[in-house]
Structure 1
Amino acid sequence: MPSNDADDEYTESATEPPVTDPDVLVLRKGTHGTPVEQYVDAIRDRLPEHTVELARTPAAEREAIQSASFVTGMTFGEELLESADKLETFACAYAGTGHLPLDELDERGVTVTNASGVHGPNIGEHVLGAILRFTRRFHVGNRRQRRREWRHYRAYELQGSTVTVVGLGAIGQAVCERLEPFGVETIGVRYSPEKGGPTDEVIGFEGEAFQDALARTDYLVLACPLTETTRGLIDREALTTLGPEAVLVNIARGPVVDTDALVSALRSGRIRGASLDVTDPEPLPEDHPLWTFDNVQITPHNAGHTPQYYDRLADIVAENVERLENSEDELVNQVRP
C-alpha cells in the first residue's frame, strides 16, 4: 500500500496510550481530508497543562466518552450520547449544528458551542477568487493558453458591479470585507434585515425586494445555512430573474440551489456562469452535466481547506476550557442552552 505522508507524520501520536479522564476528548472524524491529529496537536499547543485525548476508533470513543466532560468533534451521534454520563460541553467543529441531537443534549444539560467564524478568512478569499476568475475570465485565458493560442478576449471590471450576499453570518461578513476595496455595490440578504449589516443595502428573503435585488445582481454569493427558507431558494424563477451576465457563487449548501434549474439556465445562457464549492447531489456524480460546462467552476467542498482551519478551531476550544476553569457563564460561540 502506498505511503500517506499526512498519516505517517502522525504515527507516533496514533500509538499513544489512552488518557484516563482527559480534559479534552477529540472524536475521530476529521474534515477536508486533513488528519484530525492536526486538530489534536493544535489544542495541545494551546493547552500544554491539560490532557487532550484522541479517540481513534468507535470503541475508543464509546469508552472515553463515559468519563469525558469536554468533548469536541465534527459530529456527535445519539449512540455516543447514551454513554456520555459526565458530558458537560460539546464543542462542535462545524459552524452548523443542525446535524446534532440538540434536543437530547439540551435534556442532559449539555452546553453546545459551534465553529462560527473559523471559515471567514479562508472562504472569504475563495469567494473573492471565484468572482475575480469570472470578472477577468481567467478560465478563457487558461483554455487559450493550453491551446497555445494568442488571441484577445474581452474581460470585465469588478468595479461598479452589484454583489448580493445571501447570509450575513461570519462568512458573509468576511466576503463583504474583502469586497470593500473593489468599489462594488453590495446587497445583503438575511432573516432579520432590521439588524442591518456590512452591505450598502439589507433585505429579507421574501417579497419583491428579494426579486428586485436578483434583477440588479451581477454576482450572487450564497453564504447561508440550509433551512426550510433557503432550501431551493435559487430556483428556476430566481435564475430567470437574474440577468444574463450574472454569476452564481455557492459556498453554502448544494440544496440551496435547484440543480436541474441551474443546468437549464447554464445551457440556455440565462446566466453567465457558476462557481460551485457545494452541489446537490454531493459528491457530484462523474456523469453529471455540470462537469461539462466551460463556464462552471467546481471545487469539492474545499473552500475551507487551509492549514489555519484547525488552528482557529483550537483557539475556540482553548478559550472555552479556560473560561470553564474560571467559572465564566458564557462560552465563545455558545449556541445551546
Structure 2
Amino acid sequence: MTGTHDVLIVPVGSAPDPAPLRELTDVRVVHPDDPALPAALAAADGLVVWDGSSPALERAWEAADPRRLRWVHTSSAGPDRLLFPALRAHPCVLTCSRGVLDTDIAEYVLACVLALLKDLPRTVALQAGHRWLHRGTRSLAGRRALVVGAGSIGTRTAELLAALGVHVDGIVRTPRPAAAPFGSLSGPQSLPEVVGDYDLLLVTAPLSEATRGLVSREVVARMRPATIVVNVGRGPVVDEDALLEALRGGRIGGVALDVWATEPLPADSPWWDLPGALVSPHLAGDAEGFTDRLEELLRAQVRRFAAGEPLHHVIDKTHGYAVAPTVAR
C-alpha cells in the first residue's frame, strides 16, 4: 500500500526497480541532470542516491528542507562521496549499504593476494608468449596479515585468511580487545611501528579525515621487502606515489589496487605497466547478484522508514563510520 512518506531516488548510474518500493510508500525517480531535482528534493522525506554520486546533488542541496528530509541512503558500502559539508550539517540520518558486499570484496582481496604470491600475472604473460619457464612461488599459510579497517569487510577478509592459516591483526579507529578472527586490534597511531611485522597489508578502511593518507610514505618505507599491499577501501587512504616508488624500486613485493585517488585511472598512469602491480577499476564488490542484494536491503530500509522503525547501517556523518540503528525523526 502507499504510505505518506515521499522517497526520492536519484540514480547516478543504474536505477533500482521502484515498483516494490511503491508498495511501501510514495516513490519518485529523478535523474541528477533533471532540472526538476531541486523541487523534488524540497518535497522529499527520504532520499536514495543510487550507483554513485553526482555534483548535481550537492548543487541542489540547498533545496533540501531540514524540517522535512529525514533520511538519506546510498547504495555504496562507503558514504564518503556523499559527505559534502552541507549534508554533514543537515539533521538527516545517513545510511549506507554496509554488509551487502562483504564476502565478494573479501574474496577479491584473497584472489589478489594469491595471484601475487603465486606469480599469476607473470604466468599469464608467459602463456601469451608461448614460453615454458619453471620457477618457484610463495606460500600463503603461515603469513602474517594486517587489515587496516576492521569493519564488516575487514572482518570477513580476516575470516577467509585465517581459515587458510594466516595470522591476522587489525587496525581500528579505537583500540579494543580482539576476538577471532583477529589476534589483536590496535589504533591507527601504531601503524608505522607495527607494519614491518607483516607480510600482507590489506586496506579495507572507509575514507574519512582520520583515514586520509593513513598508509603514508613513512608506513610504506617501514614495510618488509616482500610485503604485498591490497587496497579495496578508498584510494586516498594510501599514498599511491610512495607505493609506486617502493614497488618500482623492489622495496615491496607486490601491489593490488582496486580503488584510486583519481577514478577512472588516467590512461597515462605508470601503474598500468608496472611489474608486480594489479590494476582494477573499482569492481571488487561487483559480483553476480550484488544489485539484487542491494535492492533487497533498500526495500528493508524503506519499509523501516515508512513504519518509523530504526534504520540499519547508520553512518556517523562526522567520522564516516557505522553506528547503532537510529529512527529518522
TM-score category of the 2 structures, normalised to the smaller one: 0.7 to 0.9
Query: What is the DSSP-based 3-state SS (H/G/I as helix, E as strand, rest coil) of the residue aligned with 2:229?
Result: strand
* AA partner of residue 131 (structure 1): V
Q: Indicate if the aligned counterparts of 2:20 and 2:299 stay in contact, CA closer than 8 A.
A: no
The whole-number CA distance in structure 1 between the counterparts of 2:211 and 2:89 is: 28
Query: What is the DSSP-based 3-state SS (H/G/I as helix, E as strand, rest coil) of the residue aligned with 2:315?
Result: strand
Match of 1:95 among 73, 77, 80: 77
Q: Which residue of 2 aligns with 1:15?
A: none
Which deviations, in whole Å up to 9, do the C-alpha atoms of 1:14-58 show, x marking residues without a partner? xxxxx9x8753210312xxxxx23xx22x5346645454321342
TM-score w.r.t. length of structure 1: 0.81
Report how far residue 237 of structure 1 moved.
2.5
Match of 2:29 among 54, 74, 84: 54
Report how far residue 242 of structure 1 moved.
1.2
The whole-number CA distance in structure 1 between the counterparts of 2:83 and 2:233 is: 22
Compared with structure 1, are the counterparts of its residues 162 and 106 closer, same or farther at alpha carbon in structure 2 (3 Å cutoff)? closer
Percent of residue pairs bearing the same amino acid type: 31
Compared with structure 1, are the counterparts of its residues 237 and 319 closer, same or farther at alpha carbon in structure 2 (3 Å cutoff)? same
Which deviations, in whole Å up to 9, do the C-alpha atoms of 1:244-295 show, x marking residues without a partner? 1111101122222222221211121000110011223433222222222121
Q: Indicate if the aligned counterparts of 1:119 and 1:170 stay in contact, CA closer than 8 A.
A: no
Q: Which residue of 1 aligns with 2:47?
A: 71
Q: Which residue of 2 aligns with 1:154?
A: 136
Q: Indicate if the aligned counterparts of 2:38 and 2:60 stay in contact, CA closer than 8 A.
A: yes
* AA partner of residue 248 (structure 1): V
Q: Which residue of 1 aligns with 2:323?
A: none
TM-score w.r.t. length of structure 2: 0.83
Kindly indicate whether residue 124 of structure 2 is the aligned counterpart of residue 142 of structure 1: yes
Q: Which residue of 2 aligns with 1:4?
A: none
* AA partner of residue 223 (structure 2): L
Structure 2: gaps of 5 or more residues: 317-325
The whole-number CA distance in structure 2 between the counterparts of 1:313 and 1:256 is: 25
Compared with structure 1, are the counterparts of its residues 230 and 101 closer, same or farther at alpha carbon in structure 2 (3 Å cutoff)? closer
The whole-number CA distance in structure 2 between the counterparts of 1:273 and 1:113 is: 35
Pairs aligned (count): 307
* AA partner of residue 273 (structure 1): G
The whole-number CA distance in structure 2 between the counterparts of 1:317 and 1:195 is: 33
Structure 1: gaps of 5 or more residues: 1-18, 31-35
Compared with structure 1, are the counterparts of its residues 317 and 293 closer, same or farther at alpha carbon in structure 2 (3 Å cutoff)? same
Superposed CA RMSD in Å reads: 2.6
The whole-number CA distance in structure 2 between the counterparts of 1:306 and 1:249 is: 18
The whole-number CA distance in structure 2 between the counterparts of 1:234 and 1:335 is: 23
1:211-222 → structure 2 map (5 Å cutoff): 211-222=192-203
Q: Which residue of 2 aligns with 1:80?
A: 60
The whole-number CA distance in structure 2 between the counterparts of 1:69 and 1:229 is: 31
Match of 2:295 among 305, 311, 314: 314
The whole-number CA distance in structure 2 between the counterparts of 1:174 and 1:142 is: 29
The whole-number CA distance in structure 1 between the counterparts of 2:100 and 2:89 is: 28
Which deviations, in whole Å up to 9, do the C-alpha atoms of 1:53-79 show, x marking residues without a partner? 321342232343233222200447344
Q: Which residue of 2 aligns with 1:225?
A: 206
